[in-house]
Amino acid sequence: MKDYLLLFRGGEMQELSEEERNRHMAKWSEWIGSLAKDNKFIGGDPLGDESRVISGRKKVITDGPYAESKELVAGFLIIKAGDLNEATEISKNCPIYEVNGTTEVRDVFHLDL
């Protein structure tokens, strides 16, 4: 088992009505609940729009990554999976596609010295 990071981008959740939003979030609960039941859920949260980017040796601070909203990271999850394929399969059940979002699956790299 390895750890994988699921990075969610986009997702037009603000455009949902309260009722639609509740229904949508219930699907997240169901999905994350089923991952937890299989001991595959580690953690993760949605992210807000307050952001800053710090860069360079001079630690220059700029407001936000200036990405278009569909490219903006909307949240993340860390899960356990046997390999990238399984992690991909798991990600297919994420409800984010219903609101036009995308998922990027990345393996957590072991820095062996």
- For residues 107 and 6, the answer to whether their CB atoms sit within 8 Å is no
Helix residue spans in the chain (DSSP H): 18-37, 84-92
Sequence-distant (6+) residues with CB within 8 A of 50 are none
Shortest CB 55 distance to another protein, Å: 27
**Per CB under 8 A, 67 contacts another protein:** no
**Per CB under 8 A, 10 contacts another protein:** no
Q: How far apart are the first and last CA of the chain?
A: 21
Cβ-based nearer residue to another protein, 37 or 57: 37
Shortest CB 30 distance to another protein, Å: 9
Per CB under 8 A, residues contacting another protein are 22, 25-26, 28-29, 32-33, 36, 41, 43-46, 75, 77
